Amino acid sequence: MTRVVLDPTGERSPSSRQRVDRPASLDGRTVALLDISKARGDKFLDRLAQLLEERGLRVARFRKPTFAKVAPVDLKHEISTKCDVVIEALAD
């Protein structure tokens, strides 16, 4: 049986970017928690924020308007200027 995989992006030559190195430690850094607006993602991030804050880390919360689209440019800019690392919630 032959399988056909359809790519909805329609990219003929996908672009690629090199990953940014992860920091060795989160000490002294601000962690962005990005809720993508899926059901119960906020519950996961509430608990994660609590755990990070108990470790003495600074946490900033952000939310996409909808999970169906990429984050708006202004939201990505705000996160990149205020925070050092991002954790994105993908929950249902």
Split at pLDDT 50, 70, 90, the class of 7 is low
The SS3 assignment for 81 reads: helix
Question: In whole angstroms, what is the distance from residue 68 CA to residue 26 CA?
Answer: 30
Render pLDDT for 26-75 as a digit per residue (tens, 0 to 9): 999 999 999 998 888 888 899 999 999 999 999 999 999 998 888 999 99
The answer to whether the pTM exceeds 0.85 is no
* Measured CA angle at 37 (ends 51, 81), to 5 deg: 65
Render pLDDT for 8-26 as a digit per residue (tens, 0 to 9): 666 677 677 788 888 999 9
Residue owning tokens 């705000």? 78
What tokens does 87 get?
């954790």
Q: Is the pLDDT of residue 85 over 80?
A: yes
